[in-house]
Amino acid sequence: MDQFESKIVRNLPDLLMNDWKNIFLSELGESYFSSLQSKLSEKMHLEEVYPPVNAIFNAFNLCSFADTKVVIIGQDPYHGKGQAHGLCFSVPTGIPLPPSLRNIKKELYLDFDVFLESQDGDLSQWAKQGVLMLNAILTVSDSKPGSHVDLGWQKLTSMAIEKISQEKEHVVFLLWGNYAQQLAKHVDPQKHLLIKSSHPSPLSANRGGWFGNRPFSKTNEYLVAHEMKAINWL
Q: What is the DSSP letter of 191?
A: T
Task: Cite the DSSP H helix spans in 168-214.
Answer: 178-182, 202-205
Residue 187: φ, ψ to 5° = -115, 135
Contacts of 213 (CB under 8 A, 6+ apart): 107, 195, 197, 198
> Which of 41, 54, 57 has the alpha carbon at shortest distance from 1?
41
> Which of 179, 175, 182, 214 has the alpha carbon at shortest distance from 197?
175
Residue type, 227: E
Residues tagged active-site: 76
Which residues in the chain belong to E strands, given as ranges? 49-50, 70-74, 131-135, 140-141, 172-176, 193-197
